[in-house]
Structure formats: structure tokens, C-alpha cells
């Protein structure tokens, strides 16, 4: 690991921990822990539970991206070079911003505007979709089905389709977060997420079967 290159990302991981430490003494013993789709508080918990937020979001994400390339049996992830680093940076930064938003909302006893989270998720989908076609065959990142892992052509074609779908899906989510109400927004988010997840999986199966017939 090149510590000099990792320092900016480590700083991003530390941000929500630093912010939580800064506001800790001003937090009541009981803080909001969960909100419904309308942005209303539906569960309170001990403020110590907030420590899990930066641990499970940016820190865990960062550690996964550090460990996975080292245990990749085909060493494909390391061959992605800067593209993998970009995906790692974007995903970890997203988790850090999300952690900051949750801690801020808990401190202020309000969820401010739930559409911000939908906007963030849409942005992440859009950006990741743009990188899908660059992901090499591996067991950890991407659309990993038995058919994409079995055939490199199926992997490439599936990720080409998936990339377009995630990009368009992310764009639609961003637009909806700016014009729709909270509950409609989250419903649309779930629908779009389901579509852009399920369709590439089905496509990978059909593509694999089609190629298998051609080789007979």
C-alpha cells in the first residue's frame, strides 16, 4: 500500500469520526437512529450507537477495497490500475458523506431533507455505471453471476449493458430527487434499483445460453 497516495482517502474516512467526536458532548443520551420514508423519526437509541455509522460505512468500505485486490485469485483487479482507485475513492467518499449526513441529522433531531440521500445514491449509480465497462472479470466487484464468471464475452457484454442501465437509472434518480416528494422518491429509487440489478443478471444468463448454442 502506498501510504502517500492513500492519505487523502484516509482523511475522508476519518471525517465522520472527527465530526462525531466534535459534536459528542452536545448530543443528548438518546438520539434518532432511524427515519421512515417521510423523513420522520421512528426509532431512538443511545448516542453510542452512532459510532457504528462511520465504522460500517466509510471505514468498512475502505478496508474491503484494500483487502479484496490482495485476495483476488486471478489478480484482475490490480490490473485495473487507476480505474479501481477511482471506484474506491468514489464509493468510500459516498459512504463518508452519508455517514456525515446521518450524524448531522441525529444531532439536529431532524432528517433535513431525505431527498439528499436519494440524490447521493443516484449520483453514485451514474458514476459507477460509467466505469462498469472497465471492470475486469473478478469474483468481488461488478455483476458477478455464474455466467459472467464463466465466459469473458458474457462478462463484457453484461457490463456494457449494465453500465448504460446504471448510468440512465442514476440520472433518473437524480432528476426525481429534485422534483418528487420523499415517499415517491424512495419508491422510484427501489423500482429503478431492482430493474438495473435484475435485468443485467437475466441478460447474462440469456447471453451465455445463446453463446453456448452457437458453439455446438
Confidence of residue 132 (pLDDT cuts 50, 70, 90): very high
> DSSP states of 59-122 as a string?
IHHHHHHHHHHHH-TT-TGGGGTHHHHHHHHHHHHHHHHHHHHHHHHHHTTS-S-THHHHHHHH
Beta carbons of 166 and 129 less than 8 angstroms apart: yes
Does 90 have pLDDT greater than 90?
Answer: yes
With pLDDT > 70 as the criterion, what percentage of the chain qualifies? 96
What average pLDDT does the structure give for the chain? 90
Exposed/middle/buried for residue 54 (C-beta within 10 Å: 0-12, 13-18, 19+) = buried
Q: Closest Cα to residue 211, out of 163, 165, 155?
A: 155
Does 39 have pLDDT greater than 70?
Answer: no
What does the pLDDT read at residue 1? Answer: 65
Domain ranges of the chain: 1-112, 114-216
For cell 429503478, the residue is 192
The phi, psi pair for 78, rounded to 5°, reads: -65, -25
Does 190 have pLDDT greater than 80?
Answer: yes
Confidence of residue 216 (pLDDT cuts 50, 70, 90): low
Measure the CA–CA gap between 170 and 144, rounded to whole angstroms. 20
Beta carbons of 190 and 173 less than 8 angstroms apart: no
What does the pLDDT read at residue 108? Answer: 83
Beta carbons of 53 and 107 less than 8 angstroms apart: no
Does 112 have pLDDT greater than 70?
Answer: no
Does 111 have pLDDT greater than 70?
Answer: no
- The pTM of the full predicted model, rounded to 2 decimals, is 0.85
Q: How far apart are the first and last CA of the chain?
A: 46
The phi, psi pair for 208, rounded to 5°, reads: -65, -45
Rg value, the chain, Cα: 20
What does the pLDDT read at residue 195? Answer: 98
For 138-151, letters b (16+ CB in 10 Å) and e give beebbbbbebbbeb
Does 214 have pLDDT greater than 90?
Answer: no
What does the pLDDT read at residue 80? Answer: 83
Mean pLDDT over residues 45-58, rounded? 94
Confidence of residue 213 (pLDDT cuts 50, 70, 90): confident
Mean pLDDT over residues 107-120, rounded? 80
Does 156 have pLDDT greater than 80?
Answer: yes
The pairing of beta strand 41-46 with beta strand 30-35: antiparallel
Mean pLDDT over residues 51-77, rounded? 91
The phi, psi pair for 41, rounded to 5°, reads: -70, 125
Q: Which of 52-61, 127-136, 152-161, 192-201 is predicted least confidently?
A: 127-136
Amino acid at each position: 500500500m502506498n501510504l502517500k497516495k492513500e492519505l487523502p482517502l484516509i482523511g475522508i474516512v476519518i471525517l465522520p469520526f472527527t465530526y462525531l467526536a466534535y459534536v459528542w458532548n452536545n448530543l443528548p443520551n438518546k438520539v434518532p437512529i432511524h427515519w421512515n420514508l417521510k423523513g420522520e423519526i421512528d426509532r431512538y437509541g443511545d448516542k453510542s450507537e452512532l459510532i457504528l455509522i462511520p465504522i460500517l460505512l466509510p471505514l468498512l468500505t475502505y478496508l474491503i477495497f484494500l483487502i479484496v485486490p490482495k485476495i483476488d485469485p486471478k489478480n484482475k483487479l490490480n490490473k485495473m490500475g487507476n480505474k479501481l482507485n477511482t471506484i474506491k475513492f468514489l464509493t468510500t467518499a459516498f459512504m463518508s458523506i452519508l455517514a456525515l449526513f446521518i450524524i448531522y441529522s441525529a444531532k439536529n433531531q431532524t432528517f433535513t431533507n431525505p431527498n439528499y440521500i436519494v440524490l447521493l445514491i443516484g449520483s453514485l449509480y451514474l458514476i459507477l455505471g460509467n466505469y462498469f465497462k472497465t471492470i475486469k472479470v473478478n469474483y468481488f466487484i461488478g455483476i458477478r453471476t455464474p455466467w459472467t464468471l464463466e465466459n469473458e464475452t458474457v462478462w463484457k457484454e453484461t457490463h456494457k449493458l449494465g453500465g448504460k442501465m446504471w448510468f440512465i437509472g442514476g440520472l433518473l434518480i437524480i432528476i426525481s430527487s429534485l422534483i418528487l416528494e420523499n415517499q415517491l422518491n424512495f419508491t422510484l429509487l427501489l423500482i429503478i434499483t431492482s430493474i438495473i440489478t435484475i435485468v443485467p443478471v437475466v441478460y447474462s444468463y440469456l447471453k451465455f445460453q445463446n453463446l453456448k448454442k452457437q458453439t455446438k
